[in-house]
Amino acid sequence: MDSSTSPVPRHVSESPGKVESSIHNKMDRTSDLESGSIIELSTPVPGMWRFPTNPNLCCIYRVPDCLREVNPKAYTPQLVLIGPLHRSLKFQALKSRGDITKAKSLGYLNTEAHKKIYLVEFTKRVEGNKVVEELRRKIKEDEDLIRASYSESTAWIGSSDFVEMILHDSIFIIELMLRFLVRGSERIGDPLMDELCLENTIKRDLILLENQLPYFILEKLFDPIIKILYHEETLHITDLFRCIRVETLPDDDVSYHHIDKMHNADKLYSRGVKFEAVEEEFSVWVKFDKHMAFEQSYYPYNAYVCDYVTFLDFLIDTEKDVDLLVEKGIIKNWLGHHGAVSELVNKLCLGVVDDGSSYANIASKVLAHYDNKCNKARSILRRVYFNNMWRGTATIAAACILILTIIQTVTSIIDVIKK
């Protein structure tokens, strides 16, 4: 091939100056990209961590990914958005406004409109805008403390928007509770009161960890007007429900250890372990997954709900375990199929960090009972020979006949020896 027509590599034909210029251009572009990424990261956006956080104030967190991945729907509001952590969902709903195929977005928009209606109704209840303006002033006064209650930065929300958001959300919660308290059996024209499915969805949304307002601001705003249930340790509504349950626990000192081994309920029952339901004076509606998510973030060393569910997970392996616990009144199954309960309990513990359990002492005692040879023999005797009345009667009759036969045999031998 003729050298004059042979292809020449481009870098060979370029002069050293052009090569150097090209390198500088690439470096400049790289520098621009790096500086651009730094600028982008320094711009406030949703989801960025607050650093540093104030340990005395920070109490509202994102659900850990290891828990969310098990059941994302369980930690996402279905109807009502409270606070800043899900504010971006409102913007997404606004973008899809008019699209009736997006039911969840429509639900968000409807409740946002309802917040404005409740603001007007609350204004009438307290006789004028003067009280509402005073509430707005109090929120502005404590704005920094409210922002510090969230584990994520809220710098991307302007001051006036943040104050209005807290005002609308606070009044919505209080007005909703007031309506729940005074409503009768008659319809009042409020879909949140008249439609039971919406009511249950809202109750569920209001205890979600990410869907919270700091309790102190609710108390400060409304305690002069409406006496709010007070608990000196209460951080928000999710924590309030947890506190009610924790207060029912005994005051005994509890040692925390890992539960290395534990048998399921059916096996324990076969060894004579008794399961008895405790009748409480009151009952509290509990959603374990919500409280577990909160404990993993705020109470890692006092995770009573996580400990209880983990212990329950040890007891429940199969449908037979659920059958036993339902029969004994330990569990009330509203899911229908007992296998669904087993699957639900086993999934609840996925992603939970185990840092020792307050039930470790109970587990060790139960295990010692299970391994005791006398208990093993007694349980086999009861299971094989006394598992029902007829078999028990037959066993006793056979034992009596055996004893009489032995006595007769011994008597005969003695008579023979004497002769």
Q: pLDDT for 110-157, tens place per residue?
A: 999 999 999 999 998 887 788 899 999 999 999 999 999 999 999 999
Query: What is the signed CA dihedral for 370, 374, 375, 377, rounded to 10 degrees?
Result: 110
Please, what is the end-to-end C-alpha distance for the chain in angstroms? 134
The contacts of residue 196 (CB under 8 Å, 6+ apart) are none
CA distance 208 to 201: 11
Question: Is residue 24 over pLDDT 60?
Answer: no
Mean pLDDT, rounded, for 184-194: 82
Determine contact, residues 296/352, Cβ cutoff 8 Å. Answer: yes
- Tens of pLDDT, residue by residue over 370-380, are 777 776 666 66
Average pLDDT, the chain: 76
CA distance 327 to 323: 6
Question: Is residue 226 over pLDDT 60?
Answer: no
Query: Sign of torsion, CA 201 207 210 215?
Result: positive
Helix (H, G, I), strand (E, B) or coil at 282: coil
- What token pair was written down for 378? 């007694």
Determine contact, residues 265/275, Cβ cutoff 8 Å. Answer: yes
- Phi then psi dihedrals of residue 49, to 5 deg: -65, 145
- Tens of pLDDT, residue by residue over 256-300, are 667 778 888 888 888 778 887 766 544 444 556 566 666 666 665
The contacts of residue 264 (CB under 8 Å, 6+ apart) are 314, 315, 316, 317, 318, 321
Determine contact, residues 306/296, Cβ cutoff 8 Å. Answer: yes
CA distance 265 to 263: 7
Please count the residues of the chain.
Answer: 419
CA distance 97 to 105: 8
Mean pLDDT, rounded, for 397-405: 81
Q: For residue 309, what pLDDT is reported?
A: 79
CA distance 322 to 317: 8
Higher pLDDT, 321 or 14: 321
With CA atoms as reference, report the closest residue to 57 among 142, 174, 136, 169: 142
Helix (H, G, I), strand (E, B) or coil at 395: helix
Q: For residue 73, what pLDDT is reported?
A: 85
**Which residue stretches of 183-337 are H helix?**
191-194, 196-206, 215-222, 237-246, 265-270, 288-298, 304-315, 319-327
CA distance 136 to 159: 12
- What token pair was written down for 93? 């709903």
Determine contact, residues 297/150, Cβ cutoff 8 Å. Answer: no
Higher pLDDT, 10 or 300: 300
pTM over 0.75: no
pLDDT above 90 coverage of the chain, percent: 19
